[in-house]
Structure 1
Amino acid sequence: MKVLSYGEVNLRFTPPDYQLLAQTNQLTYQVTGTGVNLLTNLSNFGMETTLLTTLPDNSVGKMAAANIRKYGIKDHHIQFNGNHMGSYFVELGYGVRPTVVTYQNRLASAFCQADPASYPIEEAVKENDIIHICGISLLLNERTRETALKLAACANEFGKPLYFDFNYRPSLNTEHSKAFIKEQYEKILSLAHTVFGGIRDLTELLDIEVNEELPYLEQLQMGISIFKQKYNVTNYVGTNRGFENHEHSLAGFMDGESFKVSSTMPVDLLDRIGAGDAYAAGIIFGLTNNWPEERILEFAVSNAVLAHTITGDVPHTTLEEVEALMEGRQQSLIR
């Protein structure tokens, strides 16, 4: 099974040993991005993956492409143009101190400045079985929006299932009204097979009304039911995070054949960024293998829980590790 993802590539800079930026003059970097994270994980699971993006035409871009190849992702649809790559700094939290993410000027990146006509969209779609688009591309600028919408339309034309991740972030919408952004999302939602999101995406962006007096899961189920009927989406999938008695937990939900919730798993939180991409990768892998929905959910949540234990955005988990966690066979030392 072949998967294509369209999305931005970023450089993540992180101070060592949970330090703040003010404490150190040392940083590590990692090549990341929703598409990179998702495809790396699916590549680890044995799927053939390709990234559609634009990198700067300089040594930074060449370095990023080399890392993408190292992750097992095909790079033949990566374009090179411009001289800037989006970046952000992550000051890892510890205990009661939260993780802080500070973005650089991503709108000046080669990805955001790329001409939609520069991408071989039809060729890329024909080569692959599944198309994935991150919703951030609808928030950045007109160029990324146009590319995402063209890709979604092409996937629909050739009968390729479209997996769409809301990733709605109001902070990125600085130029348009919420109504405009809602309209752009609706153009893709009507073409999507599986959508990743939460209740806030439904109520805050799409203005779907739920009875807030109901328990949370019933509100969620009501909102998803309205959403699926309106947009004719096959699956709506997401996660529920918990925090009680100073302990983090994670559960997944999926509304496909029917509304289902996974078991709740405790989370040892080393680095939470990228765990959502691991969850999405688990869902995609399970659906493409035609697993029962209950197994898909347990696999995806287990994968996300493991991703929390890995430093950096990219979830370098393997099929064997996830299955061992699901079956209670995990070990503290492997030799």
Structure 2
Amino acid sequence: MQQVVTFGEIMMRLSPPQHLRLGQATSLDVTYGGGDANVAAALAYMGVPAAHVSCFPEHELGQAAAGHFRRLGVDLRHVQYQPGRLGLYFLEVGASLRSSRIVYDRADSAFANLDPAAFNWDEILKDAGWLHWTGITPAISAAAAQATADAIAAARRLGITVSADVNYRRNLWQYGQKAQDVMPPLVAGCDLVVCTEGDADDLFGIKVAEESDHPFVDMSEQLMQRFPQIKRVIATRRKTQSASHERIRGMLYQEGRYYQTPYFDINPVVDRIGGGDSFISGFIYGSQTYDTPEQALAFATAASALKHTIAGDINLVTPAEVEPIMLGNTSGRLLR
């Protein structure tokens, strides 16, 4: 497979151990993650050449975050370092009736203050076959939005597949530009998007009739009409039973046809953070490995389901572990 390149912020994640609440904690477990970087790391773990582009603070925390992803096999040769801080987020992992909660502390990070001109995208993407970004990245700052636009423009010049998880985070858009103005020209350069009906309404004003029998299909068709470059739309559908019990299915609309998987039942959930990143990384892998859209979607959804059983942001699974789940083997029997 050709290299997959992702672009976005990496943050430090701090969590109380053993399902403690933040107010009870006397220590915090440390790991690192970011929506785009999680995709690169999951693909690298599956044996796909993957690179991540970011901007870190030029001190020990920036080096620690970069080292975490390098150890997972992610190519970070094109990251930038500059003065500033590393974004943080605090995760309180819920259980049963108590929901998980996240507190962000990411304002004015080194990534938010990056210089778009520092990234030579034609050089960065020269050996790549795929570029992936999320809607979180252009939400962070005008500079990050410009760098995202530059990356997409370079990918289009080079004939590289572009995907995006539009992932609308209303509270992130604080720098004076509206998501509804910034996101459409970025999404217009994409071949594949992860998008739900809610995000399509919030970002693009695409509405689905309440009486629609197939709301995801109706939304996808409208999205493709508005952005003709888009050829595939994917998403997951969740039936959350509790903080410890999820059911998810995958959905794909492509070339006028709708595909869906059965629901995967996940109980207990160990960690749901990164489930969406695992879905798109699984689809990138599956779409380049299997012969049919059904197989690619099944692999992606099984990969996402497995991520819910793994602590941390990143899906540390191999294709050999995903494929039995993809084929319906969910017994969880001891393997030895």
TM-score, normalised via structure 1 length: 0.95
Aligned to 2:224: 228
Q: 2: distance between equivalents of 1:300 and 1:150?
A: 28
Provide closer, same or farther for how the CA distance between residues 329 and 220 of structure 1 changes in structure 2, counting only shifts above 3 A. Answer: closer
Asked whether the equivalents of residues 197 and 216 of structure 2 are also in contact (C-alpha less than 8 Å), the reply is: yes
Task: Please point out which of 172, 185, 188 is paired with 1:187.
Answer: 185
SS at match of 1:72: coil
Aligned to 1:2: 3
Aligned to 2:260: 261
Aligned to 2:38: 37
Aligned to 1:135: 135
Asked whether the equivalents of residues 11 and 88 of structure 1 are also in contact (C-alpha less than 8 Å), the reply is: yes
Asked whether the equivalents of residues 152 and 188 of structure 1 are also in contact (C-alpha less than 8 Å), the reply is: yes
Q: Pairwise mapping of residues 141-290 of structure 1 onto structure 2 (< 5 A)? A: 141-176=141-176, 180-215=178-213, 218-232=214-228, 233-243=230-240, 247-257=245-255, 258-268=257-267, 269-290=269-290
Q: 1: distance between equivalents of 2:23 and 2:201?
A: 38
Structure 1 residue identity aligned to 2:266: V
Structure 2 residue identity aligned to 1:77: H
TM-score, normalised via structure 2 length: 0.94
Q: 1: distance between equivalents of 2:291 and 2:17?
A: 40
Asked whether the equivalents of residues 83 and 109 of structure 1 are also in contact (C-alpha less than 8 Å), the reply is: yes
Q: 2: distance between equivalents of 1:60 and 1:161?
A: 33
- 1:204-251: CA deviation from partner (whole Å, max 9, x where unpaired): 221112111234xx1221111111111011111110001359952100
The percent identity for this pair of structures is 26
Q: 1: distance between equivalents of 2:296 and 2:205?
A: 29
Q: Note the C-alpha offset of 1:83.
A: 3.1
Q: 2: distance between equivalents of 1:329 and 1:175?
A: 45
The answer as to 2:20 corresponding to 1:19 is yes
Aligned to 2:56: 55
Asked whether the equivalents of residues 96 and 245 of structure 2 are also in contact (C-alpha less than 8 Å), the reply is: no
RMSD after superposition: 1.6
SS at match of 1:117: helix
Provide closer, same or farther for how the CA distance between residues 202 and 329 of structure 1 changes in structure 2, counting only shifts above 3 A. Answer: closer
Q: 2: distance between equivalents of 1:65 and 1:278?
A: 20
Q: 1: distance between equivalents of 2:115 and 2:69?
A: 22
Structure 2 residue identity aligned to 1:285: Y
Asked whether the equivalents of residues 321 and 330 of structure 1 are also in contact (C-alpha less than 8 Å), the reply is: no
SS at match of 1:113: coil
After superposing the two structures, state which structure 1 stretch, 95-104 or 57-66, moved more: 57-66
Structure 1 residue identity aligned to 2:278: A
After superposing the two structures, state which structure 1 stretch, 144-153 or 120-129, moved more: 120-129
The answer as to 2:334 corresponding to 1:333 is yes
Q: 1: distance between equivalents of 2:124 and 2:219?
A: 34
Provide closer, same or farther for how the CA distance between residues 24 and 243 of structure 1 changes in structure 2, counting only shifts above 3 A. Answer: closer
Q: Note the C-alpha offset of 1:61.
A: 1.1
SS at match of 2:54: strand
Asked whether the equivalents of residues 44 and 319 of structure 1 are also in contact (C-alpha less than 8 Å), the reply is: no
Q: 2: distance between equivalents of 1:173 and 1:141?
A: 8
Q: Note the C-alpha offset of 1:289.
A: 2.4
Q: 1: distance between equivalents of 2:309 and 2:83?
A: 35
The answer as to 2:71 corresponding to 1:70 is yes
SS at match of 2:225: helix
| Structure 1: gaps spanning 5 or more residues | none
| Structure 2: gaps spanning 5 or more residues | none
Q: Which 4+ stretches in 1 moved above 3 angstroms?
A: 243-247, 329-332
Residue-pair matches, total:
330
Q: Note the C-alpha offset of 1:202.
A: 1.0
Structure 2 residue identity aligned to 1:110: A
Q: 1: distance between equivalents of 2:49 and 2:19?
A: 35
Of Structure 1 and Structure 2, the greater helix share is in 1
Q: Note the C-alpha offset of 1:332.
A: 3.4
Q: 2: distance between equivalents of 1:291 and 1:145?
A: 35
Structure 1 residue identity aligned to 2:78: H
SS at match of 1:111: coil
Q: Note the C-alpha offset of 1:331.
A: 4.1
